[in-house]
Amino acid sequence: MPKKEKDTAAKRSSILSRFLSAIERIGNALPHPATLFAIFAFGLILLSWLTSKLGLAAINPKDGVVVLPINLISRDGLHWILEHTVGNFTGFAPLGTVLVAMLGIGVAEKSGLIASSIRLMVHAAPRRLLTFVIVFAGVMSNMASDIGYVLLVPLGAIIFLSVGRHPIAGLAAAFAGVSGGFSANLLLGTIDPLLAGISQEAARIIDPTYTVTPACNYYFMFVSTFIIAAVGTWVTEKIVEPRLGAYEGEAVAEGEELRGLSSAEKSGLWWAFIVSLVLLVLVLIGLVPENGILRDAETGSVLYSPFMHGIVTFIFLGGLLAGLAYGFAAGTFKSDADVIKGMKESMESLGLYIVLVFFAAQFVAYFKYTNLGMIFAIEGAQLLKASGLGPIPLMLSFIILAAIINLCMGSASAKWAFMAPVFIPMFMLLGYSPELVQGVYRIGDSTTNLISPMMSFFALIVAFVQRYDSKAGIGTVIATMLPYSIAFMVVWMVLLVVWLLLGLPLGPGAELYLSQ
């Protein structure tokens, strides 16, 4: 490379490095998300006192009622806090749904079913479809906790190296699917009931009876899966791989990840498939007939049926039964003790989440009880209405806001628990559905996962890259993943605009706008 080009590249690298260092410093300066919510909750207590003393009020545009703040620093406020702390926690919608879903997913993961399924998908792919399959497998892997990061990302590098391609390109393709495609999938995973529960709690600030189902973004997610996989493939093969050039390192493609499936693992997959198929047939028998047992008993509706309301139970059953079938057929489960151990370990992995939920639940409950959520929503909605922005620029702006916040705060659920009580009521008063607001948030959150040093697995990704480039650092990973981030955001924005223009529902019963 000529000296002038080297100097220009070094200058760009320096600017990027300074920008990333600034983001890293800001993110590291923030307290832990659980601590943040404790601070927010205490701040709301003080704010409720201050706003009540200042006489802050707003007029509800729906019924003309004057909404006043309720002071928590008072006898009644103190009594309410003492009496509702436990209920705020145990009644927080995302808590139970995530715990139940993870019990089933934990069995499937502990049995080895998910890992074997991913390896089968990647190994069976024709060479010309290899990149697409790796990105697609990454998108699909996010339904089950963090297995995509620890299994598929290093596997992508090894697979690429084994066929004579640059391993970092394979690693980047897998990482793009796992992290950048976090809001796309063909199946519902643990993140869906988690975010839906938070959205429901926020929506009930405006409408106490509003229900948000885990499948509320499913149609949009389904379509996004293939689009993100295709875009990730194009970026890998047209931008990332040519930039990396030929691999000249000393790494050799070998290891446990590269081996094919054993006969026991194949047997396990067949049994898991059979059991899953039987469960699917039983569900269809309960849904397809007009008097199906899984339909609503009075109206015969599928949309408002026990099936839709209990979809988390089916996530649990699907993971549990398929995991049991695989585990005992493949020999990874020897007794019921192994199954219970898998459930136990999935619960252990949620310890930090449960701590975070305790404080997040108090914050959301205070926001609702004090009427501050309603007041801020009314005032914010009036401000947005006065801006004259239509649905398309408004939602695109929200994507960018969520993407920027994601650079400094990595947890998707923590950010949404903070943002949902503010933005969902605000947009509801403008006529936008909570399901739409949640879907738009998920786009912004996913697209900058790839370049956020605050993402919980970012350090692990840097370590994986350093196996093939000892001089690589945060800047190397960001520079490699930035094209994916930009491409995903642009394409997802275009898809959202098309969705809005066509007026398509985001999921079963999840319309774009609230019915008047």
For the stretch 396-440, pLDDT in tens is: 988 988 888 777 666 677 778 878 888 898 898 888 999 999 999
- State residue 120's pLDDT score: 79
User: In the prediction, which pLDDT does 282 show?
Assistant: 92
- Tell me if 207 sits within 8 A of 171, measured CB to CB: no
The amino acid occupying position 463 is: A
Query: CA of 278: how far to CAs of 170, 284, 291, in Å?
Result: 36, 10, 20
Beta carbons within 10 angstroms of residue 24's beta carbon? 17
188 with 215: CB under 8 angstroms? Answer: yes
Read off the pTM: 0.74
Structural tokens at position 211: 């229900």
- What six digits make up the tokens of 20? 């990333």
Contact at 8 Å (CB) between 146 and 179? Answer: no
The DSSP-derived string for 371-430 is SHHHHHHHHHHHHHHHHT--HHHHHHHHHHHHHHHHTT---HHHHHHHHHHHHHHHHHHT
Q: What is the largest CA-CA distance in the chain?
A: 77
DSSP state of 389: -
Q: What are the residues whose beta carbons fall under 8 Å from the beta carbon of 443, sequence distance 6 or more?
A: 183, 399, 402, 489, 492, 493, 496
Q: Find, among 105, 118, 197, the residue nearest to 153 by Cα.
A: 118
Question: Which residue is it, tokens 């026990």?
Answer: 306
The residue with tokens 């930090």 is: 352
Q: What is the percentage of the chain residues whose pLDDT exceeds 90?
A: 24
Q: How far is CA 381 from CA 68, 390, 405, 426, 491, in A?
A: 17, 13, 21, 5, 28
Kindly report, residue by residue over 477-498, the tens digit of the pLDDT: 888 888 899 999 999 999 999 9
> What residues are paired with 67 via a beta bridge?
58
Least confident of 17-26, 57-66, 378-387: 17-26
Say if residue 337's pLDDT is above 60: yes
pLDDT per residue as tens digits for the range 3-27? 555 455 455 555 655 654 555 555 5
**Residue-range domain boundaries for the chain:** 37-502
Single out the residue of 423, 405, 440, 442 nearest to residue 36, CA to CA: 405
Q: How does residue 84 score in pLDDT terms, banded at 50, 70 and 90?
A: very high
Q: In which element (H, E) is residue 59 found?
A: strand 58-59
Q: Please identify which residue in the block is written with the tokens 């063909």.
A: 186
* Token duo for residue 431: 């006529």
